[in-house]
Amino acid sequence: MDKTFIINTHSHVNMLKNTNIDDAISAAQNENIVTIVPSSTADDIFEVSGFINKYDDVYGYVGVFPEEAKTFTDKTLLDMENLIRSNKKIIGIGEIGLDYYWDKSFKELQKEVFIKQIEFANQINMPLNIHCRDAYLDTLEILKKYNKNSTAILHCFSGSLEFAMECIKEGIFIALGGVVTFKNALKAKEVAANIPLEYLLLETDDPYLAPVPFRGKENQPVYVKYVAEEIASLRGCSVEEIANATTQNAERIFNFNAE
């Protein structure tokens, strides 16, 4: 029998507090779930790089998160380059992007750091895992202008179907997580039901945003299967179909084989 794999394209499993991290990773491995862990600051790129080496089926991104843009220095790209050279399990740049929700006071710095990391990813031909909150128009504009050749993924997509289609027209992938399982998340459900499968990816963004039936509790990588189940039910297809399509998409983007 062919095994069904799921690629969880965004999981901070290294940040779990109430769940034993080794147990959470075993639970994911037992269900053929591959986990990709983003970095947030100029310092924790080292931590993430070390962390992913401890486990099978766990990969990572290096990148500086918009809210942490102030930690980005001239040395950061060099550090990222050295880590990528020495660690084959680093398969993308993330999470990078723009966040105008919490603090708009350093918008310009966020943009500058985002652009520098896009240009870096272009040079080494790596995909981008993008965090975008209340900043969709600026994010798309920057990607159109600066991104030459890296596949972009909008993680935890919370925009409208119309905006999702506009992104897809630019070749951008849409990653959906636990929010699609929330009863009142009509926009996310509409996106999940209607975007072409060729541009869909799955994630959890744990420890945040646990899907139903664990909403409000600490999220973990294995719960990505509830995301896949909800999307399958919204689209009227099988979970295997969602798992296989999104796994193929991820394998192509990250240039690896889940098996």
Which pair of tokens denotes residue 49? 């790089």
CA distance 116 to 177: 27
Q: Taking the complex as a whole, how short is the minimal distance between the CB of residue 94 and Ni ion, in angstroms?
A: 8
- In the Cβ-directed half-sphere of 83, how many Cα atoms lie within 13 Å? 29
Interface segment toward Ni ion; rule CB under 5 A; list 22-30, 46-54, 84-92, 202-210: 202-210
Name which of 4 and 219 has its Cβ closer to Ni ion. 219
Is 209 or 234 the residue whose CB approaches Ni ion more closely? 209
Main-chain phi, psi angles of 116, to 5 degrees:
-60, -40
- The residues that bridge with 69 in the sheet, in sequence order, are none
Stretch that binds Ni ion, among 77-85, 118-126, 173-181, 205-213 (CB under 5 A): 205-213
The smaller minimum CB distance to Ni ion, of residues 57 and 203, is found at 203
Alpha-carbon distance of 40 to 131, in angstroms, equals 10
Nearer Cβ to Ni ion, position 189 or 207? 207
What mask, x for binding Ni ion by CB under 5 A, covers residues 159 to 198?
----------------------------------------
User: Residue 240 corresponds to which tokens in the numbers above?
Assistant: 């295997």
Residue 47 or 241 with smaller CB distance to Ni ion: 47
Report how many residues bind Ni ion under the rule CB under 5 A: 1
Helix (H, G, I), strand (E, B) or coil at 179: helix
Interface segment toward Ni ion; rule CB under 5 A; list 84-92, 121-129, 201-209, 210-218 = 201-209
Closest Cα partner for 106 from 145, 71, 131? 71
Residue 3 is given by DSSP the state P
Coil, strand or helix at 143 = helix
Please report how close the Cβ of residue 60 comes to Ni ion at its closest, in angstroms: 12
Which residues between 111 and 140 bind Ni ion (CB under 5 A)?
A: none
Which residues form the interface with Ni ion (CB under 5 A)? 205
